[in-house]
């Protein structure tokens, strides 16, 4: 293991790319959690039925 720091342009670019990927991953995770939380707080929709609610039942 070397104690020399890598000051080359390629080394700096690799560090910057790693930081950008890490930041994007954190942002995506936060958005995912927020979306799930918003879905939970939404009122649940009623279950689907086979008949539309605006058609009355048939009577003979």
pLDDT in tens, 3-42: 556 578 888 999 999 999 999 999 999 999 998 888 777 7
Q: pTM score, two decimals? A: 0.50
Flag whether pLDDT at 1 surpasses 90.
no
CA distance 28 to 22: 10
Question: In Å, how far are 11, 27, 57 from 21, measured between CA atoms?
Answer: 15, 10, 58
């Amino acid at each position: 293991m070397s104690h020399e720091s890598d000051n080359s342009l390629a080394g700096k670019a690799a560090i910057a790319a790693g930081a950008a990927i890490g930041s994007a991953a954190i942002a995506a995770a936060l958005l995912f959690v927020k979306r799930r939380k918003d879905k939970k707080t939404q009122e649940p929709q009623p279950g689907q039925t086979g008949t539309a609610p605006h058609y009355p039942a048939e009577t003979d």
